[in-house]
Structure 1
Amino acid sequence: MTWTVYLSGEIHTDWREQIEQGAANAGLPVAFTAPVTHHAASDDCGVAILGAEDDKFWHDHKGAQMNAIRTRTLIEKADVVVVRFGDKYKQWNAAFDAGYASALGKPLVVMHQDEHAHALKEVDAAALAVTKTPQQVVAILDYVINGHLPGYTDRAQAAQ
């Protein structure tokens, strides 16, 4: 089986690439999906395709609706959803994705640093794991897919 993992959240660091590379290095049978991560394209997709808007609210509204077609479809098809909250911006869309995944009963892994623990306490409560690094996400995927736990040589040891 190839697992589908949706990578949601901040777009200003290379965390997605780190997870993808770590999964490839571990030989994990994983296909990754994600929202459009080109910030301007994501913001402007609605007006670029459907026509300009004078009011910024409607400009953003068109883009949000078009992006929702992608995000909802990919989250619904995902086996696992990983949501990263970064330091630079408040990712309201990431929080929405986490809530949507949770409402669908999708296994949710959240990634953020300690300084966001209070603000994200409800999101963390819905998650099956809360991580800080892409390497922890890869280790979780390796464990849930293969039963491999770092430091254990076989599954029998892991069960002890």
Structure 2
Amino acid sequence: MKIDSSYYLSNQPKREPSSDLGKEEFLQLLMAQIRNQDPLDPMDDKEFIAQMTTFSSLEQMMNMNNSIQQLVHNQTVSPVIQYSHMIGKEVSYYKLDEESGEIIEPKEIITSQVKAISEKEGFAVIELENNQKIYTDEVLRISTQNTSE
């Protein structure tokens, strides 16, 4: 006779204990407490109200947590998408030394049209018609392209 190995405890899925008390668990505890209370010494009204207030606060905090998580998610939009509105615009920036990355003295302002936005190490990079690439923090001015020429 062979015993089915699926009956062994070691083969059963393990449930990880959680220190988080959710809305459902709180309600289950409260209902179990009400069901199992001593009928000759019922739960005090003030204690019941305090527990319901705690439950309401828990629910509000969970809703606030969800709202904050959604806000954080919305703030972490890709830099490429965040700066895509600049494509086709003209940007002005100081001419930089290609080796050191420092502003060349006397300061010379270069203007070129944005042809694309890319991303490098989490930062938006503006690709220009003059084949230069600059970071968004180098932009001095953004304008619509001159069509009067």
Q: Fold-level match, TM-score > 0.5?
A: no
Structure with greater strand percent: 2
TM range (shorter): under 0.3
- Higher RCO (C-alpha under 8 Å, 6+ residues apart): 1
Structure with greater helix percent: 1
TM-score of the superposition, structure 2-length normalised?
0.18
